[in-house]
Amino acid sequence: ADGGKVILCSHLGKPKGEPKPELSLAPVAKRLTELLGQEVKFAADANVVGDNAKAAVAAMNDGDVILLENTRYRAEETKNGEAFSKELASLADVFVNDAFGTAHRAHCSNVGVTEFVKGDCVVGYLMQKEIDFLGNAVNNPERPFVAILGGAKVSSKISVIENLLDKVDTLIIGGGMAYTFMAAHGEEVGKSLLEEDYEEYALKMEKKAEEKGVKLLIPVDTVVADDFSNDANFKVVGRGEIPADMEGLDVGPKTAELFADAIKGAKTVVWNGPMGCFEMPNFAKGTIAVAQAMADLEGATTIIGGGDSAAACNQLGFGDKMTHISTGGGASLEFLEGKDLPGVVAADDK
């Protein structure tokens, strides 16, 4: 509206440095045109910033918006290469980074480019919102602060558990990662997901929780099935009673109640990772119970880490009941680990 010329860039999928027509951003320009109610031109160019794109940018009028081709058509993009960073920077005076979903990666289009843009490099409104919500929740939470972690593996959430134990009042562990905690106590977990190498770590985390006065909850019952399928035979068993030939695919009803009670009264809740295989309706109840308990809170800040928990929340119909659903799975996880995100740091530097 003020006459600026806007050059948009993004990636789509993993073309791995080669132009792939099915991953072209051409349809994105069309859709953006509809959403903006203003033409968004597409700078078709297999080199992203090749002669065609440069000419298209040079021909822009004040107020024009243009979209570049998929930045991952260039192999240097994901390596944060200098040449491509310079090419991108050469097009613009000012750089706005609004890609929270990529903020945990140092690529040309979000980090490298900031070294070469002449003017300011800043974060956009979405980045600001993500940083405000996740940052406040983790560093300055209104208490009680409850974190819920689930999903498949302990190994992928080690640093999150460790960092959150310094901050939360209650830590709830569900999903596939809970079986490693059970096995660590010598309990039979049958064919459930298990990371034996992390049993000792699980015990260490329980000890840390105790020392810190953090309530750490793991499932007290489990829905076990004879196959990894929605059509499998299934039943509920108590803790330590998982049959050797079955696998746990969801937390049981007593656990759902225990977790929901722990969420009640919370002022800040952060959730990352489903409580079971929510993609199969027979094993979605635990995840629904947690989502429902969060949705029922009044005056609390409820935050969903991106990825599978965001998908679960939206798919199960709780999307509009949460304060904030992060747009970045990996990025929000690294944020919860207490790490600095390269994309944020680079923009802040200028």
Name the segment binding ligand AMP (CB under 6 A); options: 31-39, 92-100, 269-277, 289-297: 269-277
Q: Could you give phi then psi for residue 215, rounded to 5 degrees?
A: -80, 120
In the complex, residue closest to ligand AMP by CB: 151
Q: Give yes or no for residue 190 binding ligand AMP (CB under 6 A).
A: no
- Residue 156 or 315: the one with the smaller Cβ distance to ligand AMP is 156
Residue 122 beta carbon to ligand AMP: minimum distance, rounded to whole angstroms: 31
Name the segment binding ligand AMP (CB under 6 A); options: 38-46, 59-67, 107-115, 146-154: 146-154
Contact track, ligand AMP, 306-345, x by CB under 6 A? -xx-------------------------------------
- Residue 206 or 308: the one with the smaller Cβ distance to ligand AMP is 308
Q: Footprint of ligand AMP on residues 13-72 (CB under 6 A)?
A: none
**Of 279, 314, 316, 337, which one interacts with ligand AMP (CB under 6 A)?**
279
Q: Give yes or no for residue 273 binding ligand AMP (CB under 6 A).
A: yes
Contact track, ligand AMP, 217-256, x by CB under 6 A? -------------------------------xx-------
Residue 258 beta carbon to ligand AMP: minimum distance, rounded to whole angstroms: 17
Q: Footprint of ligand AMP on residues 192-211 (CB under 6 A)?
A: 193
C-beta neighbour count of 206 within 10 angstroms? 18
**Of 144, 252, 274, 328, which one interacts with ligand AMP (CB under 6 A)?**
274
SS (H, E, C) the chain: CCCCCEEECCCCCCCCCCCCHHHCCHHHHHHHHHHHCCCEEEECCCCCCCHHHHHHHHCCCCCCEEEECCHHHCCCHHHCCHHHHHHHHHCCCCEEECCHHHCCCCCHHHHHHHHHCCCCEEECHHHHHHHHHHHHHHHCCCCCEEEEECCCCCHHHHHHHHHHHCCCCEEEECHHHHHHHHHHCCCCCCCCCCCHHHHHHHHHHHHHHHHHCCEEECCCEEEEECCCCCCCCEEEEECCCCCCCCEEEEECHHHHHHHHHHHCCCCEEEEECCCCCCCCHHHCHHHHHHHHHHHHCCCCEEEECCCHHHHHHHHCCCHHHCCEECCCHHHHHHHHCCCCCHHHHHHHHC
- Residue 128 or 155: the one with the smaller Cβ distance to ligand AMP is 155
Name the segment binding ligand AMP (CB under 6 A); options: 11-19, 58-66, 79-87, 144-152: 144-152
Residue 311 beta carbon to ligand AMP: minimum distance, rounded to whole angstroms: 8
User: For residue 122, what are the β-bridge partners?
Assistant: 96
C-beta neighbour count of 53 within 10 angstroms? 24
- Residue 112 or 252: the one with the smaller Cβ distance to ligand AMP is 252
- The site for ligand AMP, by CB under 6 A, has a size of 17
Q: Which residues bind ligand AMP (CB under 6 A)?
A: 150-153, 156, 175-176, 193, 248-249, 273-274, 276-277, 279, 307-308
